[in-house]
Structure formats: structure tokens, C-alpha cells
Amino acid sequence: MMALARPIAAALLMTLSASVASNAQDPDWSSASKETLEHLQAMIRMNTSNPPGNELQVAKYLDSTMRAAGIETHLFEPAPGRGSLVAVLKGNGSKKPVLIMGHMDVVGVERDKWTVDPFAAVIQDGYLYGRGAIDDKGMLAANMETMLLLKRNVIDKGGTLSRDVIFVANSDEEAGGDFGMGWLIEHHPELIKAEFALNEGGRTRIVGGKRLYVAVQNTEKVSHVVTVTAHGPGGHASIPLEGNAIFRLGRALAKIGDHQEPIVIKPTTREFFSQLSKVWPNAGEKRAMADVASSDSGRVKRGARVLSRIPVFNAVLRNGISATMLKGGIRSNVIPVEASATLNIRTLPDLSIDSVVARLKKVVNDSLVSIDVTERGEDSPASDFHSPMFEAIRESVKALDPSMTVVPYLSTGATDSARLRTWGMQAFGLLPFPMNQDDEDRMHGNMERIPLASLDFGTRMIYGAVLRVAR
Ligand SMILES: [Zn+2]
């Protein structure tokens, strides 16, 4: 595949980048991919499980690697042991900066479920195994390689970038974010203010053994916490009481479990299914996708009914309600006066959590059950999927594999990009490494790994996108 795609990539780069760097040269990809792999292995071997994080070691590694290449860096320590790194390649200022970012912390591991050391960066059968391989050290390695290649192949060759390219490595993304992007925005906004940002949060999917599509996240659902509390008479368990709070809560939860929020097709979702329907392998689902993307309300309904059976698609078609915790009672022989459940509710962008709660109250229809928003998420504007950044990603992907489709994507998970979008940036989420469902499911799970060929593909995708948007 690569052998076929490379001449196309080179030709495209030559025609597209006339104004960057007439002297920019196509990187030596075989040594670049070796270099990226080595950096990723080095970073996986630094255990940055959060808590406690200890990301400073990775920040120092990135810092010294880029400084040795002559790239300007700014290293901060937001809290003891936590790191924050900003690196900058200066452009000529004719366009506003582009930011590429990743987080250095990882989630913890269940050591007994791994057959290799999660922090040894072992290579086996074409995969690199390790915590952080796909979330998010792979992206950090690809981003840093992009900086190194731009420095060597554009700037050092006498070429120019039309905008600054800013690299950011953050701490504490997996546990609160107090020492991450929020800290940088608060303390050094001047260093990171950009027109476009590339963050984690997308997908590059292999379906049926074939690279199929790149989903670029341009908007995301908003996460809220809602508490359902049932009230009732307390007393000794030996005398059963009508209105027992736990039974009452059970009835309320059963009704909430049966409730489905209405279908709402956001512009991103329409475009997502419209593009995907052109390449989707399963005929029934392919038709349903085209239906959902149509403007005929009957077809939209029919398509949504089919796609709703697939949990990941159902989650982008409507607000989602998941029960996550239960609380009630203090002794096995005492009837409590109160029992409660925690719901995690993810609303589609621009939809109000208060309206969801109002619907749930109606569904439960019990004055002794209260439903309250206990943590309110913040909505952010969607980024434009016709912007030059999105187009640059599309061109970069097409140059690598013309058969792939690039779609905008509304993510069900929350990312730091929401913060950036609220701040006025156009932020896009990628996971540039082609993966099948099995590989992707290992994120935050056991035996996390990255296919070596995918690491190379992802690095080229990011480099190609940044080069194009900064030409
Ligand atoms: Zn992540």
C-alpha cells in the first residue's frame, strides 16, 4: 500500500507546497519512523500513571530532544513532579499559529492482566505494547517527530512556514486536569494562543481488514452528573413499609432505563453518516446511514432505528443516560429514609440538561423522587469542518491512502478541546493510527498496543496536515 501511496504523496506535496519552502524536501521516512518508534519506547518506559503522574520526566525528555534539534522550548513545573512543555517553530506570521498537543500522563494498569511489562515498551509480532501506546504517548511521539521534521526539512533548508507551529505536552489529563491545559491557558496564554489545534479524540478505523476512514472530532458531547433521590418512611426492617425508598428508587430507575431521549441529528452527525455511507461495508447499515443523512424525516426515522441498535452510533444520535452509582441504607435491618442513584448524562451540543431532567421527572412521575443536576458540564461551539485545518487533514490522509474517507465526528467522550473551543480556537481531535476495534478497545484497558505500521502512518498524517496548513 505504502509503495503505491508514496509517489502520490510526494507529487501532492510538491504541487501543494509551492509557497512553503521551495527547498522543503520529503523527509526520509524510513529513518523518521525508526526515530518516532524510539522516542515512543523511551516515553512508555517512563511510568506516568496518574495519580501521581510524575510527567516531568517525559517533559524533560521532550524538551532536551527538541532543544538538541535547535527548537525553542519552554519547560514549566505546574506542581512538584508535574510538567508542562511548550515548543515553538516560528513562521513568518502571515497566518495565525497552529497548535499540536498531547498529554504525558497515562491511566494505571491491572498488572496481572498483562502478559508483558506495561512499562517496558516490548515489541512483539508487529506491535509495540505499553501503557500510553495509543493514549496518548503515540500522539506525543508523532507530534514531536513532526516538529523535528519541519525543523530539518523546511526551516533548516531555508524554507518558511506561514504560521508558528506550537507543540504542547500536558500533564494531568486523565485525572482532573488541574495541572494540564487549564494551567497553561491560565498562566501562559500568550505562548499557546492559536487559530487551530490538533488534539486527541478522533479515530482512524480499520474495518474488515481495510483502512476505511478517519474520524476527525470537531465537537463533543457534554457530560453532566444527575442525582436521583427517592424518599420514604424509615423504620425497623421487621415491619415492611409501603413507600420504602429503595423500592421507590428501583421503580424510578426502571422507568429511566426504559426511557430513550429523542433523536437529534446535529450537522456534524449528518455529515459523518453521509460520508460514511459511501464506504460502509454492511449494506443494511450503509442504507441506514444514507437515510439518517437525508432531509426526509421518514427516512431519518427509519435509519435512526437501525443505527440505534449499535451502541456507538446510538450515542451520537441522542442524549445518553447511564446509571453509574447507587447509594442507600446503613444497616441490613434498617429501612433508610433515602436512597439515591447517580446518572451520568451526556447531552448533544446545544441541548439543555435541564430539558432532559424535565423529561425524566415526567417519566418517573413521583413527587417523592427528586432529580437534580449535581455537576453541570459546559457546552462549547463546534469547530468548522470546512476550515483549512480540516481540509489539510483530508489532503494529508488522501495522499497516504486515496481510498480512505475523512469524516467530521461528534465524540461521546469529553476532551480538553472543549476548553480550547470555548477559548476561541478551532480544535480537532485525531487518533491518527489506523486500528481495528480490538486494538482501539485496549485504550485504558489491558495489553494496550500500537501496530508499528500505524505509528508510521499516523506520524505521516500529522506531518502532512501541519505542513499543509502552515504552507
Ligand atoms: Zn488521552
Calculate how far, in angstroms, residue 141's C-alpha sits from the geometric centre of ligand 1: 14
Calculate how far, in angstroms, residue 258's C-alpha sits from the geometric centre of ligand 1: 32
Calculate how far, in angstroms, residue 252's C-alpha sits from the geometric centre of ligand 1: 35
Calculate how far, in angstroms, residue 255's C-alpha sits from the geometric centre of ligand 1: 34
In angstroms, what is the C-alpha Rg of the chain?
A: 24
Calculate how far, in angstroms, residue 105's C-alpha sits from the geometric centre of ligand 1: 8
User: What percent of the chain has a predicted confidence (pLDDT) above 70?
Assistant: 95
Start-end of H helices in 20-150: 29-44, 56-68, 137-150
Calculate how far, in angstroms, residue 135's C-alpha sits from the geometric centre of ligand 1: 5
Model pLDDT for residues 316-348, shown as the tens digit of each residue:
999 999 999 999 999 999 999 999 999 999 999
Calculate how far, in angstroms, residue 14's C-alpha sits from the geometric centre of ligand 1: 34
Q: Residue 133 corresponds to which cell in the numbers above?
A: 501506546
* pLDDT for position 175: 86
Distance CA 381, CA 333 (A): 51
Calculate how far, in angstroms, residue 358's C-alpha sits from the geometric centre of ligand 1: 33
Model pLDDT for residues 155-207, shown as the tens digit of each residue:
999 999 999 999 999 999 998 778 999 999 999 999 999 999 999 999 999 99
**Which H or E run includes 303?**
helix 297-307
Q: Are 221 and 409 a contacting pair, CB within 8 Å?
A: no
Residue 144: name the closest of 53, 35, 41 by CA: 35
* pLDDT for position 6: 43
Calculate how far, in angstroms, residue 18's C-alpha sits from the geometric centre of ligand 1: 35
Calculate how far, in angstroms, residue 399's C-alpha sits from the geometric centre of ligand 1: 27
* pLDDT for position 178: 83
Calculate how far, in angstroms, residue 174's C-alpha sits from the geometric centre of ligand 1: 7
Calculate how far, in angstroms, residue 291's C-alpha sits from the geometric centre of ligand 1: 33
Calculate how far, in angstroms, residue 431's C-alpha sits from the geometric centre of ligand 1: 10
CA 429 to chain centroid, in Å, comes to 5
* pLDDT for position 144: 98
* pLDDT for position 16: 45
Region 96-125: what's the mean pLDDT? 97
pTM: 0.88
Calculate how far, in angstroms, residue 359's C-alpha sits from the geometric centre of ligand 1: 33
Residue 248 has pLDDT above 60, yes or no: yes
Q: Are 144 and 167 a contacting pair, CB within 8 Å?
A: yes
- DSSP, collapsed to helix, strand or coil, labels residue 17 as coil
Q: Residue 104 corresponds to which cell in the numbers above?
A: 504525558
* pLDDT for position 25: 67
Model pLDDT for residues 197-227, shown as the tens digit of each residue:
999 999 999 998 999 999 999 999 999 999 9
DSSP-assigned letter for residue 416 = T
Model pLDDT for residues 55-76, shown as the tens digit of each residue:
999 999 999 999 999 999 999 9
Q: Residue 9 corresponds to which cell in the numbers above?
A: 504523496
Calculate how far, in angstroms, residue 132's C-alpha sits from the geometric centre of ligand 1: 8
Model pLDDT for residues 424-449, shown as the tens digit of each residue:
999 999 999 999 999 999 999 999 99
Strand order in the sheet with 222-231: 320-328, 338-347, 222-231, 369-375
Question: How many alpha carbons lie under 13 Å from residue 184 in its C-beta half-sphere?
Answer: 31
Q: Are 401 and 1 a contacting pair, CB within 8 Å?
A: yes
Residue 23 has pLDDT above 90, yes or no: no
Residue 136: name the closest of 62, 193, 210 by CA: 62
* pLDDT for position 15: 43
Calculate how far, in angstroms, residue 176's C-alpha sits from the geometric centre of ligand 1: 12
